Amino acid sequence: MFHIKICGVRFERDLVAVSQSAAGAVGFNFFPKSIRYLDPASPATAELSARAEELGLTRVGVFVNDKADDIERVVDAVGLDHVQLHGDEPVELGRELMSRGMRVIRAVKLPTQPVRAEAIDDRAKEWVDSGCGLLLDADSGAGHGGSGEELDWESIGRWASKNRRVPWVLAGGLTVDNVSDAIRASGALAVDVASGVENPRGTKSRPLIDQFARIATGALAGR
């Protein structure tokens, strides 16, 4: 799986900025209520995905409470390497998508206050057992991500120390100022950022992308 993902890209200039940084993956957001929404039926979205592939970037589609057939149609039309389920989907959907040949990442939403490792297991275990990768994000309710809220990294670190074979990504309020501390405290294997590399909100910043990816790469290498 990828190590650094810049999520919510919408323009070719975003892709170029990511490709010229130390990041290796981009997220396309297909949740209509998101400020970063891309219309999967638009030819421009398929062109954006094709350009990402040309640039050697891993393409992740972010879906919220969509049906398997609808997700498969988007994957076929747009071209994606991973499907990220970021809503209230049951684990059966993940299994169904994997049976159709898709690689699935499940967003597990956690409270921002300290949380027991057992509580994280309760939310994640059935997805891990099904073969899905995990993305740990702050629970933002109906917003389904992108809130910029931080998780309690020490709590995640305690969980991660007992789940060393689980492929997972840390998200939730990461920025150039805190990503190094977040990786160190949580033991993250990979990181995901959206709002943390934007200025203003919803608009990606090339300098922030480059700085975030550089800092995160150094922190991940130092683990």
| Catalytic hit among 7, 81, 152, 210 | 7
Instruction: Show the 3-state SS of the chain.
Output: CCCEEEECCCCHHHHHHHHCCCCCEEEEECCCCCCCECCCCCHHHHHHHHHHHHCCCEEEEEECCCCHHHHHHHHHHHCCCEEEECCCCCHHHHHHHHHCCCCEEEEEEECCCCCCHHHHHHHHHHHHHHCCEEEEEECCHHHCCCCCCCCCHHHHHHHHCCCCCCCEEECCCCCCCCHHHHHHHHCCCCEEECHHHECCCCCECHHHHHHHHHHHHHHHHCC
Active site residue 132: no
Catalytic residue among 14, 66, 137, 139: 137
7 flagged as catalytic: yes
Which residues form the catalytic set? 7, 137
